[in-house]
Structures are given as C-alpha cells and as structure tokens.
Structure 1
Amino acid sequence: MPFNLKIIPVSPQGIPMGVPFLAMFNPESVAIKEDVEYNPHCTTGETGSDPAFVRIKARTFTLELTIDGTGVNTNGVKIPIPVQIALFRAATTELKGIIHRPAYLLVQYGTFIVRCILNSSTVTYTMFDKFGLPIRAKISASFTEVVDNVFSKIVGMLSSPDLTHVRAVKEGDSLPLLVHQIYQDQRYYLQVARVNRLKNFRRLTAGTTLFFPPIADQ
C-alpha cells in the first residue's frame, strides 16, 4: 500500500502533525473543479455587457474512497469500519489544540499533491454482516486547495492595476482600449495621455512605448 492515496494532517507551515490516513483502495477518479468569478454587471437598458474579471477561486476537488472490513486487502487482517472512519476523521476534522482548528491537509496520490482543507465528508455504508455491523463503506469527501499567501500575493501583484505597466503600441491599438485592458476602465485614458505627453491620443504610432502608472498616482 505504499503507493496508495495519503491524507496527511499538517500545520500552517506544512509540518506533519498527526497520524496520516492511508487509503485502503485508490480512488477510481479525482474530480477537480476550477471557478473563475466575473462581475456580471449590466447597465440599465442594455441587453448585455462584457463581464469584468474579479478573481480565480481556489480549486476544489472530490474523492470517493472505499473502506473494507473483510480483510480482502489487508492480508486477512480485519480492521473494523468504525476504526477506519475514526482514523479518517482524526486526520481531517479533529481539532488541533496548537492551532485551534482542524489541521491543514496534504493529499498525495501519484503526482497529484495538493495542500488543502476538508469541506465535507459523507460516509455511506454499503455492506453489513449478519449482526448488522458494517463491513464495507464509502467516504465521499470534498476539499478546497490552500495556496500559500505569499505566492498568492505575488501572482496578484503581477497583474495588479496598482503597479506601473509598460506597453508597446501595436498597429490598430487605441488608447481607450489599452487603458481598459490595464485598468478594466477606459475612463483613465486622459490621465494616461497626460502622463505620456501625447499630443493626439486618437492617433497612436506603432512601436511607441506607453507608461500606465498606478491608479492611485493619477
């Protein structure tokens, strides 16, 4: 079972802080969802508009894990279903006194390695013995990826309208269009024209370099 999916509880710094949960059977599929959020604002009287980009949401993914208490995958050793569920909960939802919350998780399955948190889990019992005790179950779990704050800030800064941008004018470019691409609002084109000392902003010369300063400085 060394290549089976692992769920490792870790601290905010990524240090293991508990007993990992090792899947008895690898999942048949991993469903990964990515959402891009837009502002669908539409001016009164218009039939539609180009939605403004807001952010890329954190990825979410779902897993379905089968747990078995018959010993079929553990060389005849029967590990009770309640014990296996308790191990899953200890790794994913147990409150950690040091951080006063459930641990962050590191889910690893082959090359799929994600730092995340558990959103929810559902246990479905699918087989019982003659005494009514569960001997097989499925755990359906959903997770949200956690991206390091430093990395997230760097990515955001690279496309932030609060930084100075430099663009080379291409044939057919117009100043309002370029301003809209940078600030998502073409109303700043007069300020940009003034910063670049453009005598005629309606006619841009291809190859000209334009500076788009931070919005706060305009």
Structure 2
Amino acid sequence: MDAGEFGKKLLLNLKIIPIHPKYYFPLGLPFLTMFNPETLVIDEGVEYNRSCAPGQTNNKLRFKRITSRKFSLSFVLDGTGVNAPKIPVTLQVLLFREATTLMNGVFHQSNCLLVQWGTFICRCKITTSKVEYTLFDEFGLPLRAKITANFEEFVDDTFSKITSMLSSPDLTHLHTVKRGEILPLLTERTYSDQRYYLQVARANRIKNFRKLPDESELKLPPIV
C-alpha cells in the first residue's frame, strides 16, 4: 500500500479529535487509527424515581432523566509495517494518550473529544483505557498492541439545563385540553400517578373533573 492509498484509508478510519471544551473546534493533534475498531459497544440508560403507595407492592416508575451515553472501542495498533507504514507501537500509544488521557496544560484537565467512525459521532471524554501488548521483537519492543477504551458522552451544561427544565414534573406546565380528556388520565400521564388529580383540580378551581371544557388551559403544578 503506497502513501496515497494509506492516506485515503485513514480518512475513513476511526478518528479521535481533541476539541475545545466550550466552543468545540479542533484543538491539538487528532488520533487516527490504522485499522478500524474490532468492536463498538454503546450503553444507553434511563433513570426513574420509584414510588410505592402504602399497602401496595407495585412500584410506580416516574421518569427522572436519560443518562449519558457510554461506549467502548477496541482497536489494534500495528508496528510491523506489513499492512501499513511502519510506525513504532510505542509512538502510536503515546499519540493516543496525548489526545485522550494526558493533562491538557491550558484547561487543566484531559481533553474533550470528538469520536467519529462512519455514521457514529459523539462528543465525549475518555474514562478508562487499557493497552494490551500482543507481539514483540527480539529486543522486547512491542510490535502490536490492542487498545480498549471507554468513553462517556457529555452535553453542554446550558443545553442540559434547558432540556431538564422543559421536561421536569417539578415545574408548572400549561396543557390545552383535548376532546375526551379527563383529569385522572392527565395526572397519570404527567406525574405517573392519577391520585394527584384532586390537587390539580384545586389549583385550577375545577368542580367537574370528569368533563373538562375542550381547548381550555390547565395548569399542571409541581407536586410536593
């Protein structure tokens, strides 16, 4: 493989790019793998608050938040020069650490990263990495290594606060009543518990909660 073909191949491979923690533009040398990952494992989760009424055994699951996406990558570093230009494995590991785990002296923390491979792209920080050396020369210098790295997605603080506020049941929301809606079902949908319909009725001065006027505005207050 000549240098031109290898350069084109690198553009398609996994990229780990240090970025500015606030403005997200590229910062420093990116790390590009010679070979694409052997595995990509993505872990996503949702957290709930659990509540159980006295005398009942079934838990009510009330949405709390979507947790940060986590993912892990495993890929090979090769220094034999057989299938790619011969670059010492020790140098490749150093470049990986420079991009991911070493302290950035300007921001006094490890780098914020943009990880991109194919259609997968994520702003994140590395949490752990493991280097497994699998082949050595006669002098004990590594010729091949496998890196397993774990990352956690991060979301801009302002964006995170706004989305949390907009979806929080701890804030008052306005709801436009649709035809056929009744208060117990609305409170079940909003608070994951229809028992709060009396409190909502009092907050809106509703006398007949079984028949709500179509297109009327309801206040759905925080429940303490």
Do they fold alike, i.e. is TM over 0.5? Answer: yes
* Counterpart-to-counterpart distance in 2, 1:183 and 1:212: 13
1:56 aligns with 2:63: no
Distance 1:188 1:207, change over 3 A: same
Q: Which moved more, 1:29-38 or 1:150-159?
A: 150-159
Partner of 1:126: 134
Unaligned residue ranges in structure 2 (runs of 5+): 1-9
1:117/1:143 contact within 8 Å kept = yes
| Aligned match for 2:161, one of 153, 158, 162 | 153
Q: Which amino acid aligns with 1:62?
A: S
| In 1, Cα distance between equivalents of 2:156 and 2:140 | 46
Residue 215 of structure 1 corresponds to 222
C-alpha displacement of 1:160 = 2.4
Deviation at 1:169, TM superposition (A): 4.1
C-alpha distance 154-163 of structure 1, shift in aligned 2 (>3 A) = same
1:168-207 to structure 2, matched below 5 A, reads: 168-171=177-180, 173-186=181-194, 188-201=196-209, 203-205=210-212, 207=214
- The separation in 2 between residues aligned to 1:187 and 1:50, in whole angstroms, is 12
Shift of 1:118: 0.2
Aligned length: 213
Q: Distance in 2 between matches of 1:72 and 1:43?
A: 66
State the Cα distance separating 1:84 from its structure 2 match: 0.7
| 1:140 alignment partner, one of 144, 148, 151 | 148
Task: Report if the CA contact (8 A) 1:169-1:204 is conserved.
Answer: no
Which position in structure 1 is the counterpart of 2:3?
Answer: none
Structure 1 unaligned regions, length at least 5: none
Q: Does 1:82 align with 2:122?
A: no
Distance 1:99 1:126 in 2: 35
Partners of 2:56 and 2:212 in 1: how far apart?
34
RMSD of Structure 2 on Structure 1 (CA): 2.3
Q: 1:48 to 1:187 in 2, by over 3 A?
A: closer
Instruction: Note the C-alpha offset of 1:58.
Output: 0.5
Letter in structure 2 aligned against 1:176: P
Change in 2 beyond 3 A, CA 1:83/1:44: farther
Give the secondary-structure state (helix, strand or coil) at the position aligned to 1:181.
helix
Q: Deviations over 1:55-81 (max 9, x none)?
A: 10010111111100101233xx42111
Name the residue aligned to 1:25. 35
TM-score, scaled to structure 1: 0.86
1:164 aligns with 2:173: yes
Name the TM-score, length of structure 2 as normaliser: 0.84
Distance (whole Å) between structure 2 residues aligned to residue 61 and residue 39 of structure 1:
25
Q: Deviations over 1:39-63 (max 9, x none)?
A: 2344565332222221100101111
